[in-house]
Amino acid sequence: MSDLRARIVWHEEPSAAQLAADLADTVAARLSEAIERSGSATIAVSGGTTPKLFFQALSRTAIDWRNVTVTLVDERFVDGASPRSNARLVRENFLRNRAAAARFEPLYRARESIADAACEASLVLARLAWPLDVVILGMGTDGHTASFFPDAADLDAILDPDAPGIVRVVEAPSAGEPRLTLTMPHLISARFMALHIEGAAKRSLIDAVLDGTATPPIAGVLEHAATRPEIYWAP
C-alpha cells in the first residue's frame, strides 16, 4: 500500500445524498468540538456542484452556529449575484435554516483589481483564529483542488507548503475566471480536512493519486496535510 493511501481515511456511501449526510454529521461534530474547546469554530468550504447536498444537510444540524465563522476555500472573481459565485452557492444552500446564524466571510471584494481584492480578503481573514477547524475540498477531473489548477503558470509557487499570504490570486486558462484562493499553508494546516468527490472519473483519478501514479495538485495537498485527510466518495 502506498504511503499516501495508508495516510488517508476513506469513506464511501452508496449515494450522493447518504455521503452528504455522513459528511455533514462529521463536520457538525468537529465544529461542536471546536466550540467546546475554544468557544468558536471556523470552516472553509469549496464551491462547484458537489457540495450542494452537503451544505443543505449541514445547514440543518443543531450546533451553536452563532459561534461559527464560514469562509471559502476559493472564489471566482465575480460578484455575489453571479451564478458563478461560490459565495452565492453558500448563501443559497448553507447559510439557511439553523446555519443562517453563522458569520460568513466571503473572499470576493469589489475592488479595482483582483490583487486588491486578495489583499483586502487577506487582511479580513487574518483576524480569524488559524488554523481552520474544518476545510472541505472538492476536486476537478483534472485533479485541481481549491483554485490550484494544473495549468496555472506559477503552480510550483501555489503548491509551496510555505507559500506567503492568506488569500492569493490564481489565473489559469482552465479556471474560467481569475480566482481568489486560500494559500496552501492555510489549507493544509486545518485540524480536519475532507475531500468530497463523486463519480467514476474522480474515483479513478483519486485511486491513481493514492497509488502515486498521478500527481495533480490534489496530491500535494493530501501529502502535506497536517492531519490525516478524509476522503468522502460516492458513485
**H-helix or E-strand containing 170?**
strand 167-170
What does the binding site for ligand 6PG look like in residue numbers (CB under 6 A)?
A: 46-50, 73-74, 86, 138-140, 144-146
Q: Which residues contact residue 92 at a Cβ distance below 8 angstroms, ignoring those fewer than 6 apart?
A: none
Judged by CB, which is closer to ligand 6PG: 3, or 83? 83
Of 231, 110, 133, nearest to 189 (Cα)?
Answer: 133
In the complex, least distance from residue 145 CB atom to ligand 6PG, rounded to whole angstroms: 5
In the complex, least distance from residue 190 CB atom to ligand 6PG, rounded to whole angstroms: 15
Number of residues that this document lists for the chain: 235
Q: Is 63 exposed, middle or buried (0-12, 13-18, 19+ CB in 10 A)?
A: buried
Judged by CB, which is closer to ligand 6PG: 174, or 215? 174
Torsion over CA: 225, 182, 175, 193 (sign): positive
Question: 76, 111 in Cβ contact below 8 A?
Answer: no
In the complex, least distance from residue 195 CB atom to ligand 6PG, rounded to whole angstroms: 9
* Beta-bridge partner residues of 76: 179
Judged by CB, which is closer to ligand 6PG: 185, or 217? 217
In the complex, least distance from residue 51 CB atom to ligand 6PG, rounded to whole angstroms: 7
In the complex, least distance from residue 135 CB atom to ligand 6PG, rounded to whole angstroms: 11
Judged by CB, which is closer to ligand 6PG: 59, or 67? 59
In the complex, least distance from residue 107 CB atom to ligand 6PG, rounded to whole angstroms: 10
CA distances to 38, 61, 64, 66, 199 from 98, rounded to whole Å, are: 21, 7, 9, 9, 30
Q: Give the integer Cα–Cα distance in Å for 202 and 85.
A: 23
Judged by CB, which is closer to ligand 6PG: 24, or 35? 24
Give the residue nearest to ligand 6PG (CB). Answer: 138
Q: Which residues contact residue 85 at a Cβ distance below 8 angstroms, ignoring those fewer than 6 apart?
A: 47, 75, 76, 78, 79, 108
Judged by CB, which is closer to ligand 6PG: 74, or 133? 74
